[in-house]
Each structure stands twice: as structure tokens, then as C-alpha cells.
Amino acid sequence: MAPDGATAHTEIGIIHGIAVRPENRRKGAATALLAECEEYLRREGARIMIAEVRPDAVAFFSVHGYETAPGLAFLIPSAAGTYVHPQSVPSTTLMWKNQSARPVTAEQAARGTALTGVLDA
């Protein structure tokens, strides 16, 4: 583990944001950026992708397989311990995408932001 814990949860990929200039929107740039981010994170071992998105980007991320989660933080058990990802800005939405072969069951999803069962501990 890195001294600051930055590399402790390699199974979890964080996408901090994707921005495209207005004149370049609706041309596939954001889709290409997201695909490149996800591919890089998968190569690094990520099986869960997390994104904190602005309200106008929720539909975009939804189209690309991300789900919204209720609450102000994700709690994800992993081999390195429980990862906590809090919502940093109240106006954003936490979203996640499961790249794991182990799906989240309806019962687990009903527990809210504790995404148990997504990663093997």
C-alpha cells in the first residue's frame, strides 16, 4: 500500500470528470474520453468504476452503463478493506459501473450505497 493509501484499492477506478468544449460536443469526444479512461482503469485492475457527475451529465453516464446510487457516499468492500468515496459537491450525483463478473443483487442494491457483493473481498 502506498503511504497515502492512494493505491490501496486498485479494484476501484475513479473518473473525476470528463469535459468537452461546447464546440466539440455531440461529436463523440466525451464517449471516446470515457472509453479511454475505462480501458486504462481496467488495465490497471479496476472492476468497479465510480464517477461523480454534474446533473447535466447523468444521462450521458447512464447511456454508458453507469447507475446512480442513493446517498452521499459509496462504501465498497474490497480485498484492501472498505473503500469510502464521499460525494464532494452536493449538486453532483454519484454513479458507478460494475465491471465485475459478480453482479450486485437486488437485495444488496436495496441496502443503498453499501455496494456489497460487487468485489470479492
Residue ranges per domain, the chain? 12-109
Cα Rg, the chain, nearest whole Å: 14
71-118 per-position pLDDT tens digit: 777 777 666 677 788 888 888 888 888 766 555 555 555 544 445 444
Who contacts 49 (Cβ-Cβ below 8 Å, separation ≥6)? 13, 14, 15, 38, 41, 66, 96, 97, 99
Question: What is the CATH code for 12-109?
Answer: 3.40.630.30
How far is 6 from 9, CA to CA, in rounded Å?
Answer: 7
How far is 33 from 65, CA to CA, in rounded Å?
Answer: 15
Please state whether the predicted TM-score (pTM) of the whole model is above 0.85. Answer: no
Q: Which triple of cell numbers denotes residue 1?
A: 500500500
